[in-house]
Every structure is written in structure tokens, then in C-alpha cells.
Amino acid sequence: MNTSYRLARLMDAEELTIMSMELYTEISSRKDFTDNKIVATLRFYEQHSNMGEVLMIECDGNLAGYSIIFRFWSHEYGGLMLGVDELYIKKKYRRLGTAKQFIDLLIAAERGYPLFAGIELEAHFSNTLANKLFASLGIPQNDNAHYIKLFKK
């Protein structure tokens, strides 16, 4: 299977919205998520491309998924971290190595930068496939817990 990646554009918003809603439907803790913000996300990263991007994942020319990635400086880890905010692979393309190949590519690309310190991935504890994938890539589970307080409703 030939897998390729490209920057998402505003014209991808409809497909991204559909996939994003599918992702949140699968996450038990986010079943109430109805406010899709993909257009705002696309516009933000178009204006602040140094902070991250939205990537479309294509297999044999067909849309297979997407990912939203971001970068931040970590004092704790002593360098730039690459964060994967969302990674969604359509069911048809799961268990084919699509997500693994994508994460491997991200790591290889970021390692080329001297300030790159690591990658941060998150998955709901009930997402056994994602957790197994991360373990197979040699990415250990962090002992830290995430606490989030939203400022807007």
C-alpha cells in the first residue's frame, strides 16, 4: 500500500469534520462532543505553521485518516516535543500499519532537528489498540496524569 501525507487545506474541512466526529464517537469520554472546531484549527495552523499542522493521510490515493500535531518546548525534557493531538485512521485502513508508519515518519522527521527531545502521544485508557501501538513503538506510558480546565464553554 502506498501511503502519503499532505497538509490539510480549508477545502478538506468537510472530510475532516466527518472523521473528527467519528473519532469522538469512538471515545467513550467524549460522546457528548458536538462542537467541531476543525475550521478554526485549520485557520490557526495556517497562520502559525511553526506551532503545528493538520495532516491528511492517504493510502493509494484514498483518504485514510488525519492527524493534528503540535510542537512545544519542554523544560522537563530539555527540548522541543512533538505532540499528537489527534490521530484518526478510518476503520478500513486500521491494522494495516498505517498509524505505525505515520508515527515512525514523524519521529524520523523530527529527529533531524537538533532541539527535538521526544514525542508525546495520548489515548484514552480504554483505547486498547492505540495503547498497544504505542507500546509496540517503544513509547512507554507516562506516569503523569492530565488535568484540564477549560476557560470557554
For residue range 4-43, list pLDDT tens digits in order.
Answer: 999 999 999 999 999 998 988 887 665 555 567 899 999 9
Rounded mean pLDDT of the chain? 90
Confidence of residue 150 (pLDDT cuts 50, 70, 90): confident
CA–CA dist 20, 104 (Å, integer): 22
User: Residue 45 is which amino acid?
Assistant: Y
Q: Residue 138: its pLDDT value, please?
A: 92
Cell, residue 142: 507516562
**Structural domain boundaries in the chain:** 3-136
Confidence band, pLDDT 50/70/90 cuts, at residue 94 = very high
3-state secondary structure of 123: coil
- Identity of the residue numbered 10: L
CATH of domain 3-136: 3.40.630.30
Q: What is the pTM of this model?
A: 0.89
Predicted local distance difference test score (pLDDT) of residue 30: 57
Q: Which of 85, 104, 93 is nearest to 129 (CA)?
A: 93
What does each C-alpha distance from 71 to 1, 56, 153 come to in angstroms?
Answer: 29, 18, 25
- Residues 116-132: pLDDT tens digits? 999 999 888 888 888 99
Of the two residues 149 and 15, the one the predictor is more confident about is: 15
Give the tens place of pLDDT for each residue, 39-72: 999 999 999 999 999 999 999 999 999 999 999 9
pLDDT of 128 reads: 87
